[in-house]
Amino acid sequence: MEEAVIKGIKDRFGDAIIDVYEKSPRRTYVTVDPARLPDVAEYLYKDVGCRFSIATGMHMAHGIEILYHFPLDRANWFINLRVILDVDKPSIESIARRVPASEWIEREMHELLGIEFRGHPDMRHLLLTDDWPEDNWPLRRDWKDWRGGDNVKG
Amino acid sequence: MSKGRTVIPIGPYHPLQEEPEFFRLHVEGEKVVGLDIDLGYNHRGIEKLAENLTYDQVPFLVERICGICSTSHPFAGVQAIEDVGNFDIPERAKYIRTFIGELERLHSHLLWLGLAGHFMGYNTVWMWAWKYRESVLDLFELLTGNRNHYGMMKAGGVRRDFADEDIPRVVQVLDGLVRPVMMFRDVALADPVLQARTKHVGCLTKQDCIELGALGPTARASGYDIDVRRDHPYAAYDKVKFNVITTQTGDIFDKVVVRVLEMLESVSICKQCAQKLLEVKGPIDAEYKEIPAGEGIGTHEAPRGEVIHYTRSDGTNKPVRYKIRAPSYMNVATNMRAAVGYTISDATLTLAAIDPCYCCTERTLVVDAGTGKRIMTGKDLLKLSQEKTLKLLEKYPSRMDKIWI
């Protein structure tokens, strides 16, 4: 099952699949070209029948990374799509219209990490207050509290 | 805003619940035509805080995310940390973890059942369900030292062992729960008023569940057969026997049935674990000293559905990134479809049916959109829901009318 899915995405998306890392029999991490990510995600969700669990955004040394976690329940397997975006202007096409469950987490990553999701239907704040400044992203490593209080000690 | 449309704000604060949320019900007359959800009133930045704690401290932090399913987050969290290094844990620890997880499901479902009864006007159900919940909390106190926030989970095992002499008492309490749960089951299945209030109300189709990512009992009541315990076995769930309860309609009635029947399964799992704990001896902690660089995912079927934790490690004793996703994050969004098309008096129940229990009636005001005048308070809304049950009681011959109101 797992091999068939990996082969399926390699056949369909070819060069867009940058790296496949089998961490353990139950966990596979696939690095994908950000430009093709929505297509790969849609394939996993609609054709393979994976569930969309959540996405994790993080600010790493090599850029802004997003992991989309897709569990395949019938195979007891997690396939995780990884994209790495430029830290200066992180931008990727939204998958919210193709995978509706991702709408909220994209809003959350937008406000906490400053990632632009192109084509998202509703880009309002989700967790932060409405008066939160536009260019202040709390989950970034270099975050400074705009209200002036002590930063969380790192 | 169209003519005749009124907005009912529900929330954000309600003294019965553990987390504030804000619902805007758009209504035309009695009918709900739209729903807008506002989150973030309880955003505490736990993911950011976790980056500054050691792997030994993180389970204590995430345990405090929720007071009801307090072991669900550390349960998923320690598995994420163990997944970084592909660690295994001792067998006895697996049974203890499973036992704690299921006992928590019991107390959480009983809590929900009581609240659902209260919102419907069956205050005896409320009091009785919480009475039986007390015996579960007493068990927690006996076994872990705390009625809530048990502090049992740690990466590599559990923190406290169970004593053999406590097991007979545990089995006795669990056996004592079967009769009350069966009684609730019979009430749910047989009472015509409860059926009239909950059947074909707040329906969620299987397709809705798949699209919105619904989880746990909310999904299983709609025939979406997912359960992390069976699909991604962890701890001792592959060593105990249990059924995954599903129903097909996706209305509130089915959500009640799924939760009530799940309680019986939880009693069975707990008893199997208790029996095994008498046989399986040995260490309860694998005592891993270092977490290698890498990443890991941990999941757990909390009372409300799948909890997923992700952690990234760089080889130090603190996570670089710690991501948490609770089941209500997905389930709350399903209200946008489940509440629309029904009446206001049903909306309180529908919002409660996914079990963040968001009736939020205490601080609810109906505001006339034209004048801004307050025309209905939270108390009125609760009264509205309870009066509907009373009206139905007159209509249907029920043996409950004397007992349950």
Q: What is the CATH number of the domain that holds B195?
A: 1.10.645.10
Mutate to test the interface with A, among B323, B324, B329, B334 (most CBs of A within 10 A): B323
**How large a percentage of chain B has pLDDT more than 70?**
87
Other residues' Cβ atoms within 10 Å of the Cβ of residue A1: 11
Q: Which of A56, A103, A128 sits opposite B321 (nearest CB)?
A: A56
pLDDT, residue A51, reads: 93
Q: Judging by DSSP bridges, how do beta strands B294-302 and A77-85 pair with one another?
A: unpaired
Mean pLDDT of A50-69: 94
pLDDT, residue B265, reads: 95
Q: Which residue has the higher pLDDT, B375 or B40?
A: B40
Provide the pLDDT confidence category of residue B18 given band limits of 50, 70 and 90: low
Mean pLDDT of B61-65: 89
Predicted TM-score (pTM) above 0.95: no
Q: Does B22 share its domain with B95?
A: no
Contacts of A51 in chain B (CB under 8 A): 210, 213, 226
* Residues whose CB falls within 8 Å of the CB of residue B203, separated by 6 or more in sequence, listed in order: B249, B250, B251, B338
Residue-averaged pLDDT of chain B: 84
Q: Residue B163 — left, alpha, or beta (φ > 0 → left; ψ -120 to 50 → alpha)?
A: beta
B319-325 β-sheet, strand order? B294-302, B305-313, B319-325
Provide the pLDDT confidence category of residue B395 given band limits of 50, 70 and 90: low
Mean pLDDT of B198-206: 87
* CB-count exposure of residue B154 (10 Å: 0-12, 13-18, 19+): buried
Domain assignment present for residue A129? The answer is no
Domain assignment present for residue A23? The answer is yes
Residue that is last in its domain, among B280, B301, B329:
B329
> Cβ–Cβ of B330/A101 closer than 8 Å?
yes
B318–A contact, CB cutoff 8 A: no
**Which of 41-100 (A) contact B at CB < 8 A?**
51-54, 56, 58, 60, 67, 69, 71, 73-74, 76, 78, 80, 100
CA A13 to chain B, closest CA, distance in angstroms equals 24
> CA-nearest residue of chain A to B41?
A127
Rg (CA), chain A: 16
**How large a percentage of chain B has pLDDT more than 90?**
52
Domain assignment present for residue A98? The answer is no
Q: Does B146 share its domain with B35?
A: no
Answer yes or no: are the C-beta atoms of B237 and B229 closer than 8 Å: yes
Domain assignment present for residue B53? The answer is no
Mean pLDDT of A92-118: 93
B86–A contact, CB cutoff 8 A: yes
pLDDT, residue B197, reads: 82
Provide the pLDDT confidence category of residue B401 given band limits of 50, 70 and 90: very low
Read off the amino acid at residue B139: L
Residue that is last in its domain, among B307, B329, B351:
B329
Question: Containing domain of residue B350, as a range?
Answer: 5-41+332-403
CA B383 to chain A, closest CA, distance in angstroms equals 32
Domain assignment present for residue A42? The answer is yes
Domain assignment present for residue A36? The answer is yes
Instruction: Please report, for the domain that includes residue A57, its CATH number.
Output: 3.30.460.80
Give the whole-angstrom CA distance, residue A29 versus residue B136. 41
Q: Which of A53, A100, A154 sits opposite B212 (nearest CB)?
A: A100
pLDDT, residue B363, reads: 27
Distances (CA, A) of B135 to A17, A89, B115, B147, B241: 54, 55, 18, 10, 24
Q: Does B294 share its domain with B345?
A: no
Mean pLDDT of B42-56: 88
> CA-nearest residue of chain A to B296?
A27
Number of folded domains that form chain B: 2
Domain assignment present for residue B51? The answer is no
Q: Does B319 share its domain with B341?
A: no
B93: tokens are: 């620890």
Mean pLDDT of B223-251: 93
Domain assignment present for residue B165? The answer is yes
Q: Does B324 share its domain with B337?
A: no
B288: tokens are: 């891993």
Give the A:B interface size as CB pairs under 8 Å: 83
Domain assignment present for residue A13? The answer is yes
Q: Does B341 share its domain with B213?
A: no
Mean pLDDT of B24-29: 85
Return the bridge partners of B9, or none: B24
Q: Does B240 share its domain with B305?
A: yes
Q: Does B132 share its domain with B271?
A: yes
Provide the pLDDT confidence category of residue B396 given band limits of 50, 70 and 90: low
Mean pLDDT of B89-112: 94
B255: tokens are: 């959500």
Q: Does B168 share its domain with B283?
A: yes
Domain assignment present for residue B59? The answer is no
Number of folded domains that form chain A: 1
Q: Does B270 share its domain with B337?
A: no
Q: Give me the helices (H) in B121-166, please.
A: 123-144
Read off the amino acid at residue B90: P
Q: Does B255 share its domain with B354?
A: no
Residue with tokens 């307050």: B374
Q: Which residue has the higher pLDDT, B45 or A75?
A: A75
Residue with tokens 């034209």: B370
**How large a percentage of chain A has pLDDT more than 90?**
76
| Range with the poorest average pLDDT among A139-148, B48-57, B140-149, B276-285 | A139-148
CA B262 to chain A, closest CA, distance in angstroms equals 20
Contacts of A73 in chain B (CB under 8 A): 226, 231-232
* Phi and psi torsions of A102, nearest 5°: -90, 0
B330: tokens are: 């997905």
pLDDT, residue B404, reads: 41
CA A7 to chain B, closest CA, distance in angstroms equals 22
Helix (H/G/I), strand (E/B), else coil: B9: strand
| Range with the poorest average pLDDT among A30-44, A77-91, B246-260 | B246-260
B330–A contact, CB cutoff 8 A: yes
Residue that is last in its domain, among B304, B329, B354:
B329
pLDDT, residue B4, reads: 79
* Residues whose CB falls within 8 Å of the CB of residue B252, separated by 6 or more in sequence, listed in order: B197, B198, B199, B201, B202, B349, B350, B353
Q: Does B32 share its domain with B121?
A: no
Contacts of A100 in chain B (CB under 8 A): 211-213
Contacts of B48 in chain A (CB under 8 A): 138-139, 152
Q: Is the pLDDT confidence value at B321 over 70?
A: yes
> Cβ–Cβ of A126/B39 closer than 8 Å?
yes
pLDDT, residue B373, reads: 52
Q: Is the pLDDT confidence value at B203 over 50?
A: yes
Domain assignment present for residue B56? The answer is no
Residue-averaged pLDDT of chain A: 91
| Range with the poorest average pLDDT among B49-53, B183-187, B277-281 | B183-187
Nearest to B298 by CA among B272, B269, B319, B277: B319
Question: Containing domain of residue A67, as a range?
Answer: 2-89
What is the tens place of the pLDDT at every residue in B352-383? Answer: 776 653 322 222 333 444 444 555 566 676 77
CA B385 to chain A, closest CA, distance in angstroms equals 30
Domain assignment present for residue A131? The answer is no
